């Protein structure tokens, strides 16, 4: 989390939107075997928790139930060149959006895991614009579903701390900020440019 308070946006709706739009994060935990990390799809429950699943063989799976973990979701990011500033003494920087979620984790029952998988597939299938009708889990036979369920474990984190960094040149004058946004847009960093213009 960046220490500058100018880059804080303690807005739950923004946090939820980032989790929803990115849909993927990283879970960290210090275990008796040392620090471990896992990369996983994330779903916000909308009531202060996030759900995810890991392979049963993942190094984190046996340590997560009952532990306090950290999850990170990274949004768009981009390098900001000094050449885009009027002041020649400004150094390059990086604009980015990220959120850290911290809280206790519980293992989900199979029914909860099935609900998580249905939510994930429904949400992301609905975003695919080509290729016919969305795939749904009811296309699988019960036998075909059993094997994947044996290989994964579902988890839910009760988020006790939300820590965000929304670093979009807010510490620069408005004209500089627009110049940086235009330059990033020209370079193809459309996500960061759009956020710079829509988030004051």
Q: How do the pLDDT tens digits run along the chain, 200 residues long? A: 788 888 988 888 889 999 999 999 999 999 999 999 999 999 999 999 999 999 999 989 999 999 999 999 999 999 999 999 988 888 999 999 999 999 999 999 999 999 999 899 888 888 887 877 888 888 888 887 787 888 999 999 999 999 999 999 999 999 999 999 999 999 999 999 999 999 86
Q: How much is the pLDDT for 148?
A: 81
Pair type for strands 24-31 and 34-44: antiparallel
Q: How much is the pLDDT for 74?
A: 96
Q: How much is the pLDDT for 106?
A: 97
Per the listing, tokens 């989390």 go with 1
Q: How much is the pLDDT for 105?
A: 98
- Give all strands (DSSP E) within 84-171, no chain letters: 93-107, 152-158, 161-167
First to last CA, the chain: 19
The domain 5-78+93-170 having CATH identifier 2.30.110.10: the answer here is yes
Q: How much is the pLDDT for 10?
A: 84
CA-based nearest residue to 164, from 199, 137, 128:
199
- What is the spatial distance between Cα 97 and Cα 160, in angstroms, rounded to a whole number? 20
Instruction: Provide the 10 A C-beta neighbour count for residue 192.
Output: 26
Instruction: Provide the 10 A C-beta neighbour count for residue 60.
Output: 22
- What is the spatial distance between Cα 14 and Cα 96, in angstroms, rounded to a whole number? 14
Q: How much is the pLDDT for 144?
A: 79
CA-based nearest residue to 59, from 81, 27, 102:
27
- What is the spatial distance between Cα 150 and Cα 119, in angstroms, rounded to a whole number? 19
């Amino acid at each position: 989390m960046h220490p500058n308070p100018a880059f804080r946006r303690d807005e739950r709706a923004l946090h939820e939107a980032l989790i929803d739009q990115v849909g993927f994060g990283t879970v960290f935990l210090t275990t008796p075997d040392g620090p471990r990390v896992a990369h996983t799809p994330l779903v916000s429950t909308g009531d202060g928790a996030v759900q995810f699943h890991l392979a049963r063989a993942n190094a984190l799976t046996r340590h997560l139930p009952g532990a306090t973990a950290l999850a990170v979701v990274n949004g768009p990011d981009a390098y900001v060149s000094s050449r885009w500033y009027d002041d020649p003494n400004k150094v390059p920087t990086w604009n980015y959006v990220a959120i850290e979620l911290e809280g206790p984790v519980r293992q989900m029952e199979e029914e909860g895991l099935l609900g998580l998988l249905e939510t994930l597939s429904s949400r992301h299938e609905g975003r695919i614009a080509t290729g016919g009708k969305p795939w749904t889990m009811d296309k699988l036979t019960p036998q075909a579903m059993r094997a994947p369920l044996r290989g994964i474990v579902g988890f839910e984190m009760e988020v006790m701390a939300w820590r965000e960094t929304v670093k979009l040149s807010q510490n620069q004058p408005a004209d500089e900020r627009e110049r940086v946004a235009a330059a990033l847009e020209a370079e193809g960093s459309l996500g960061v440019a759009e956020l710079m213009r829509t988030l004051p």
